[in-house]
Chains A and B, each alone.
Chain A
Amino acid sequence: MRKIASITVALVLVAGLAGCGGGDDAGSTDEVKLAGLWPLSGPNATQGTDVLHGAELAVDVVNNDHPGLDLPLGPGTGLPGLGGAPVKLITGDTQGKPEIGAGEVDRLVTTEKVAAVIGSYQSGVTLTASQRAERLGVPFVNEASSSVALGERGLKWFFRTGPTDETFARSMFDYLKARQAGGDQIRTVGIFHSNDQFGNDGAGVTGKVAAEVGLPVTVNVAFDPTAADLGSQVAQVRSKNPDVLFVLAYTDAAIKLMKTLDQLDYYPPALLAYGSGFADPAFATGLGPLANGASSRAAWSSEIAAKRPAAKTVADLFQQRYGAPMTENSARAFTAVLALAQAIDTAKSTEPAAIRDALRALDIPGDKTIMPWTGIKFDDKGQNTGAAGVVEQMIEGKYRVVFPAELSSVQPIWPMNKAQQ
């Protein structure tokens, strides 16, 4: 019986993945401290680190002089509204766990006295962390969580710069409508999603918009993100063979899914993903040619950046500094941190309430951001009304914009497996 007891303890400990959060030392008092909470270890650490890099670059843009950069706070050093005070980003590691995210908010607000919190990439962690910030009365700015539910909680201190899954879902269904008009047969859709806040919420929104446009959802698979094998789950999709498969998955599962599709030699005519794992650089590098054909919604793309001088400069800075291309995730974090810095600058204060009021009054035109958006302006739910999405497809190892037509650079490849030949 002792063995049973000890192996049970083992299960709990291994499943729990113990670890501890890290933070930097407190600095001098005249700097503006912001907390950045992301999954810097654990299964989503790749994306968390990428997001952190975007945020760090924004801090660099604020603190150092970038004379040629046509973005607010780009030229000049620090925040002019606070006498040139520099911004300091203090990071906390959520390990991708909702309870640790909330705990880190407590720690950073009470002991580090941060003026505001940015985070937390995963919707499930953003949910608990922003709730804790609300209770402590500190502004929480979210960069890349797209779960619709986050904005429906009536929070007073929550702001989201990026699009929600509903915005993204509408872009993707608009894309499908355009394909139908062009003669492609699209009669049914399937949904393949991880069984967590991000996946369940996105699946719900996809189902809702599908019903609005009259496309039946014939298969809806919620997989366990820790499952070692996705063979059965894909077999279930294959038996219903939907014309379009919507996917919500983080990196590990996204790679597993593409490998399983290859092994079973089954591809739906189109695979439309909600970013996240599909936006991770490891997706393309890890899969090589197997990644070709997958489509994903995106809030940012390097192709659009190339058309906008400020975005191109920022993307080049990112590449120089981190030796990796800027991604949707890092661009979103960059944008969130810069918007928050602008709000603090206009508030001329580090008082949480003053920052919150400044965020509410914020109105940044689209050409003063690096995003393909109409701008940044929050509604009474804290949602940015200017955020929008595009649809990209992985073609020859690179994501290319395929929708909307006025932003697209190539024709989509349909059915998707033609992209692999």
Chain B
Amino acid sequence: MSDLLQSVVNGLLIGAVFALVAVGLTLIYGVMDVINFAHGEMVMLGMYTSFFAWSVLGLDPLWSIPLAGVSIALTGLLMYIGAVGRVLGKSPLAQVIVTFGLQVFLRGLAQFLWTPNTRTVPRPWAAGLRWEIGPVVIGGPQVIMAVGALLATGAVAYFMNRTRLGGAVRAAGEDPAAASLMGIDPRKMYALCWVIAGLATGVAGALLMNSYSASPTAGVSFVLMAFVVVAFGGFGSITGAALAGLLVGVVQGVVGLYAPSYTLAAALALYLVVVLVRPQGLLGTR
């Protein structure tokens, strides 16, 4: 019983990170109808930013959160201006190839610049914290990652649902032609989506360095889950992504306890069930 409780808690904590990683993906997807295959690589770059802030400047991963967020936001903007923006409105295949090409390019670039070596921050500040609540032990890094991820996810949700600019982004996503008649430039809104996605993945990357290792393929296991979370939560729905992230985390945690080799299989099975039973996802409308 105590193991089950521990696994559920572990699942919720890591699920919060899945949610934050999924936010940018679902945003770009919901607004622009573009799947960003290079999303995991943005997380990976965020992790490296945080790692180098630690190794060069001696910054704890907590302090490098703003730095990683801003750096990857700029990277996202560059990706949009330099590549993705140029194939908007072209065939869906062209968009797939561009973002997929970015994925291969960024991964190769990381391996070229920083070698494939696994980089870890040995003793982040958060690792000194630990709580024991009954039979459940919670490590500082897990709590920091989860709390940070939930706050960041909440901030994006607030921006999208409660601010005028967020409304403009949604309008550009729903009907670009009507939005531009109202004086909204859809291209600017699209660029903003990439900035927000970069911000979210950069923050996620810095949070992850509290417990994970950076390597050119470090983003893969998170983005794989993010795709499941996006489909599960409903395309374009940020609240849905947050809920689905937590759920996917718990499913993985509990399955990890009873059938540890099938955690990935369980998440993908969940995805299949969603596709068959509720294709629009938990909170999706379309």
Any chain A CB within 8 A of the CB of B180? no
Any chain B CB within 8 A of the CB of A228? yes
**Contact between A252 and B215 (Cβ–Cβ < 8 Å)?**
yes
Q: Which residues of B contact A229 (CB under 8 A)?
A: 10-11, 14, 249, 252-253, 256
Any chain B CB within 8 A of the CB of A294? no
The secondary-structure label for the interface of chain A is: helix
Closest approach, in angstroms, between the C-beta of A356 and any C-beta of chain B?
A: 33
Any chain B CB within 8 A of the CB of A312? no
**Contact between A226 and B260 (Cβ–Cβ < 8 Å)?**
no
Q: Which residues of A contact B216 (CB under 8 A)?
A: 41, 45
Contacting residues of chain A (281-316) with chain B, CB-CB under 8 angstroms: 281-282, 285-290
Bound complex: CA A312 to CA B84 (Å): 54
Bound complex: CA A286 to CA B82 (Å): 35
Contacting residues of chain B (111-157) with chain A, CB-CB under 8 angstroms: 111, 115-120, 122-123, 127, 130, 137-142
Bound complex: CA A290 to CA B3 (Å): 24
Q: Which residues of A contact B115 (CB under 8 A)?
A: 46, 49
| A151-159, A169-177, A256-264, A331-339 - the one binding chain B | A256-264
Among B111, B249, B255, chain A packs the most CB atoms within 10 A around the CB of B111
With A14-B223, A49-B116, A232-B10 as contacts: A290 and B123 at CB distance below 8 Å = yes
Q: Which residues of A contact B14 (CB under 8 A)?
A: 228-229, 231
In-complex Cβ contact of A236 among B96, B140, B257 (8 A):
B257
With A4-B231, A224-B264 as contacts: A235 and B217 at CB distance below 8 Å = no
Q: Which residues of B contact A195 (CB under 8 A)?
A: 260-261
Q: Considering only CB atoms, which chain A residue lies closest to B21 in the complex?
A: A228
Closest approach, in angstroms, between the C-beta of B142 and any C-beta of chain A?
A: 6
With A228-B221, A231-B14 as contacts: A7 and B35 at CB distance below 8 Å = yes
**Contact between A289 and B3 (Cβ–Cβ < 8 Å)?**
no
Q: Which residues of A contact B253 (CB under 8 A)?
A: 229, 231-232
**Contact between B224 and A11 (Cβ–Cβ < 8 Å)?**
yes
**Contact between B261 and A224 (Cβ–Cβ < 8 Å)?**
yes
Closest approach, in angstroms, between the C-beta of B111 and any C-beta of chain A?
A: 6
Q: Which residues of A contact B161 (CB under 8 A)?
A: none
Produce 1/0 per residue, A346-373, CB < 8 A to B: 0000000000000000000000000000
**Contact between A252 and B261 (Cβ–Cβ < 8 Å)?**
no
Any chain B CB within 8 A of the CB of A328? no
Q: Considering only CB atoms, which chain B residue lies closest to A287 in the complex?
A: B122
Produce 1/0 per residue, A9-47, CB < 8 A to B: 111011101110000000000000000000011110110
In-complex Cβ contact of B118 among A8, A41, A46 (8 A):
A46
Among A10, A251, A259, chain B packs the most CB atoms within 10 A around the CB of A10
Contacting residues of chain A (351-397) with chain B, CB-CB under 8 angstroms: none
Closest approach, in angstroms, between the C-beta of B249 and any C-beta of chain A?
A: 8
**Contact between B230 and A7 (Cβ–Cβ < 8 Å)?**
yes
Any chain A CB within 8 A of the CB of B80? no
Produce 1/0 per residue, B203-219, CB < 8 A to A: 00000000111011100
**Contact between B139 and A10 (Cβ–Cβ < 8 Å)?**
no
With A46-B117, A49-B115 as contacts: A10 and B37 at CB distance below 8 Å = yes
**Contact between B217 and A286 (Cβ–Cβ < 8 Å)?**
no
Any chain A CB within 8 A of the CB of B100? yes
**Contact between B96 and A14 (Cβ–Cβ < 8 Å)?**
no
Q: Considering only CB atoms, which chain A residue lies closest to B117 in the complex?
A: A46
**Contact between A263 and B3 (Cβ–Cβ < 8 Å)?**
no
Any chain B CB within 8 A of the CB of A280? yes
**Contact between A18 and B260 (Cβ–Cβ < 8 Å)?**
no
**Contact between B116 and A41 (Cβ–Cβ < 8 Å)?**
yes
Bound complex: CA A290 to CA B268 (Å): 33
| Nearest 3 pairs of A and B residues by beta carbon | A263-B139, A288-B122, A45-B116
User: Which residues of B pack against A, CB within 8 Å?
Assistant: 2-3, 6-7, 10-11, 14, 17-18, 29, 35, 37, 40, 92, 96, 100, 103-104, 107-108, 111, 115-120, 122-123, 127, 130, 137-142, 211-213, 215-217, 220-225, 227-228, 230-231, 235, 249, 252-257, 260-265, 268, 271, 275, 279, 286
A sample of 14 inter-chain contacts (CB < 8 A) reads A9-B96, A11-B271, A14-B224, A43-B220, A195-B261, A229-B11, A231-B10, A231-B256, A232-B11, A232-B256, A236-B3, A251-B213, A286-B119, A288-B123
